[in-house]
Structure 1
């Protein structure tokens, strides 16, 4: 078996059957191997950043993802997407074809730079160490199996991206393969952690559970649901775990997207006398919550547990949840907690012209009508908060980038999510974010990805405007900040430019829902809908935030 063949073997073993990227001479070996493997496919993208984002989206719904680009120019173009996967803990392997031993010797001895070299030794490796959970060079074929299998194990168990650099003349080298031992089961959580948990929860009058990304990454939705129902504790999800459990459940109280806006889930969670975070990653939007609850909260996430002031290492979330489910005290705690809370409802005011609120009212109805056929993708923009209020009619149908917060990530990530789930993406993106990755439309046309892209066309980096000058949205005479203004594009003409798909422009609310229906009927590639929005319009959640700051 060659190096490239063994890497493909490991990918399939970990549930990954696609490689994304832009092939170059240094990484061509892995692509040639895919050509000869009927169980693997590659998807070649327009640029490397797009490839990284697609792999990021794929890894959020599949057990593993893979991306392969050229040394230097490809890797450095892609690094923002890998940082997203690292921050939000997405399992992925970054495959890179590095210089040969002779190329490195020529650079060291004669100052001759090999292709795409900065002149610094192991430059790509050193850079990627900062955005991966492990990074390795394959320099010894005799230890290739151990090194490669170890990286895959790191990516799956941490979880997160790993980096493997293979000398570009090593891809087709034969390596010896020995039978591998099956993976060991996670260790059970010790009794000290369970004891501390039940002591903390036993006196609570208003406990609440917040489910995070680790529930998704490790496939623990059934375990989490069993704990919720065993203890009869209401629960929220973060944006990273939205739709991991049926949002029609009687104990679901909404998505806690941010403590920057005053919505019912926030009020309930912050007022809780026992806040239980399971598998959560906390970013800037959760700063107030964590600071308020830090000394008394329960936080069990990614191998660690903190229960009030007690800290525990090596705590597997799966074992912790199983321990609660089987513990006899769990049944006693559920007594008296049989009142179901009302599910969060999306309440929006009707509007004649498109507004952010009106757009999401239409999308909410559209998702309800189409059921589990759809995947909702909320790019980082002014629409991030209203997207959290959408009701997901099924599970595993929501994607966002709420911790890394990279505008533009959602559109390419939707391709990976579609390939991993089979669900059709509907993406809401600001025009600023979409303009950063607009060529993704070409990839969607090439591979007939049936995405529906709704672009909020207001000619503005709206989220930046809100963060830097909120007065713009309350005072009609206040102009936008000059550097936040965008060039206006005719998005509806994209199909003509890129040779496929459909394009629409809408400027009234009723027309938008009708256009979504037309978009859904077209299944031979992507559809882009430009929604003309007044630059001064802002979602209701932000208006409430501005009003609270003025008090």
Structure 2
């Protein structure tokens, strides 16, 4: 499986046009692009528009940052989100109003799941505002409130600004970018239409750095003392790691804590691959009832959780209700030990202080060892829907993962791919996988957006330098199927598997799980039944390779073909029974 074609679609730029651009003054747009390049952003996803034309024109000719044209706003914004998760910062350029509002869902997901994305736009300029006021003109793409974009984005960003002049633009841009890389969340910047093209001094060569907050010494001391009392008294402590550790670059510190304490550890679904999934301390991912049995048993038996950087969503209601008092929780906003809350203590300082305690205390590291990984074909075999046991060549959710994970493992490809998932039955089944590389499992596990996975593929591949390995459902793929065109246009050899059962299966589980029982009397609700698509024709139309597989034999044959170098994305329709209900989803539905 070749990864040599990680980019590119390059715009044809003539030598004369380039010389003309080089003769132009350095602009506000050039300033932002230079700062982005310094922060290792080498691609900006974009939807063009007249208001934002000065920025998009600057991007077209800017050396070292490539414009990645997307086919719609969700495609562009999902890609920028995944790029931010893999590269450390992403950027998307959008038209005023119609584009920014369309992309809002994706940016909200980035906000919730801690992905730093710079949303770049423009709005009616000074002259337009004067004319609009004088003659009561409603400008295109405007609601009439010219601040509406900024106001809306202020709820899903850590900073949202509109520049009416180039004066002070450099400082404003720097502060905005520092906010993004400090908080690991999106920011929004718009300029009056003409401002992106106005002259601006170039930035210094010094790269912007995140702000480093300092802990209150007494609060830190008290938090560590209370946490240590709880941890040292525990008989079966465990580390429960989350996505904040990964986003804030603390994975190395987490590994040191695991080594010094000897604690077993697990992760949330969103935090999966916060570390390489190797070693003898990783018990597997904890995805509540969807987890494999020994993970559920160990979590239930644990009497103290050192919970680091973990976002507790409603997927973990059963856990939080039963284990709240047993948690030592450290996030970027708060430290909690049992029922005691400590403000003004940073997660990094707290982790470092605990590390010193473990290293200085006799009896650590503990000699505990995680249970062995389930022996193949587990955990997939026992979780596959038993209704299909007499049809061994029929593909089910679990059989798809059984064979695709074996293919990846046997061919030493787990280090060469980055997986993307929206919310779907496949996501919960996939959390049972072992052996993945650090930061190679990208999901919408908290925001829970159907369709994220396909739009994220281009950003994940460009950001990581690894081949995107995407698993979607029919419904999720239908949301943003045009993303296949973006992959083809940019020569990205991503693989999109569509687990095709013709229904919103994950929705039906929570509406009426009896619908999955055999017999015509057990029917899916009409609103959960999807239209039938010709996926092979769709792949051809978008410039991708296309395959449909209906049996295990056909699936394995296509997996083998994926080892052949390609400059195109591949769409694989994986046909499964409509009523296939994986054990992971059955357990979740029964909670």
* TM-score interval (norm. to shorter): over 0.9
Distance 1:340 1:412, change over 3 A: same
Tell me, in whole angstroms, the C-alpha distance in 1 between the residues paired with 2:89 and 2:207: 19
Whether 1:526 and 2:569 are equivalent positions in the alignment is: yes
Q: Does 1:372 align with 2:415?
A: yes
Q: 1:147 aligns with which of 163, 172, 187?
A: 172
Alignment pair present for 1:307 and 2:337: yes
Residue equivalent to 2:4: none
Q: 1: CA distance between counterparts of 2:140 and 2:102?
A: 16
Matches for 1:158-307 after TM superposition, within 5 Å: 158-176=183-201, 183=209, 185-187=212-214, 190-259=220-289, 263-307=293-337
Distance (Å, rounded) in 2 between the aligned partners of 1:520 and 1:240: 29
The one of 538, 542, 546 aligned to 2:581: 538
Match of 2:401 among 360, 377, 389: 360
Does residue 481 of the first structure (1) align with residue 525 of the second (2)?
yes
SS of the residue corresponding to residue 115 of structure 2 reads coil
- Find the aligned partners of 2:475 and 2:280 in 1 and give their Cα distance: 38
Q: How does 1:423-438 map to 2 (within 5 A)?
A: 423-438=466-481
Aligned to 1:121, what secondary structure does the other structure show?
A: coil
Deviation digits for residues 106-136 of structure 1, max 9, x if unmatched? 2233221122111123111111111111111
Alignment of 1:478-517 (within 5 A): 478-498=522-542, 500-517=543-560
Structure 1 length as normaliser, TM-score? 0.95
Offset, 1:419: 0.7
Q: Which residue of 2 aligns with 1:402?
A: 445
Deviations 1:255-301 (A, max 9, x none): 11235667432332243211121111122211221222223311111
For 2:66 and 2:327, locate their aligned partners in 1 and report how far apart those are by CA, in whole Å: 45
User: How far has the Cα of 1:203 moved from its partner?
Assistant: 0.4
Partner of 1:78: 103
Closer/same/farther in 2, CA of residues 32 and 392 from structure 1, 3 Å limit:
farther
Distance 1:339 1:296, change over 3 A: closer
Residue in 1 that maps onto 2:113: 88
The verdict on how the C-alpha distance between 1:158 and 1:270 changes in structure 2, with shifts beyond 3 A counting, is: farther
Cα distance per residue 1:217-249 (max 9 Å; x no partner): 112111100001100111011222212212121
2:487 is the alignment partner of 1:444? yes
Q: Which has the bigger relative contact order, CA under 8 A and spacing at least 6?
A: 2
- Could you list the structure 1 runs, at least 4 aligned residues long, displaced by more than 6 angstroms after superposition: none
CA contact (8 A) 1:231 1:330 kept: no
CA distance in 2, matches of 1:4, 1:70: 15
Query: Match of 2:380?
Result: 348
Task: State the distance in 1 between where 2:228 and 2:449 align.
Answer: 39
Q: 1:230 touches 1:331 (CA, 8 Å); kept in 2?
A: no
Report what 1:113 is aligned to: 138
Give distance in 2, aligned partners of 1:185 and 1:440. Answer: 37
1:127 aligns with 2:152: yes
* Unaligned ranges ≥5, structure 2: 1-25, 382-388
When the two chains are superposed, the root-mean-square deviation of aligned CA atoms in Å is 2.0
* Contact 1:348-1:358 at 8 Å conserved across structures: yes
Structure 1 regions of 5+ residues with no counterpart?
none
Q: CA deviation at 1:510?
A: 2.3
Q: Is the 8 A contact 1:89 1:160 kept in 2?
A: yes
Deviations 1:144-164 (A, max 9, x none): 122111111111111200111
1:506 to partner: Cα distance = 0.8
DSSP 3-state at the match of 1:497: helix
Deviation sequence 1:403-441 (CA, Å, 0-9, x none)? 001011011112111111111111111001101101111
Partners of 2:436 and 2:508 in 1: how far apart?
A: 33
What does the per-residue CA deviation read over 1:37-73, in whole Å, with 9 as the maximum and x for residues that have no partner?
A: 2211110000011100000111111121101110011
CA–CA separation in structure 2 for the residues paired with 1:510 and 1:155: 47
Contact 1:125 1:135 in 2 (8 A): yes
**TM-score, normalised by the number of residues in structure 2:** 0.88
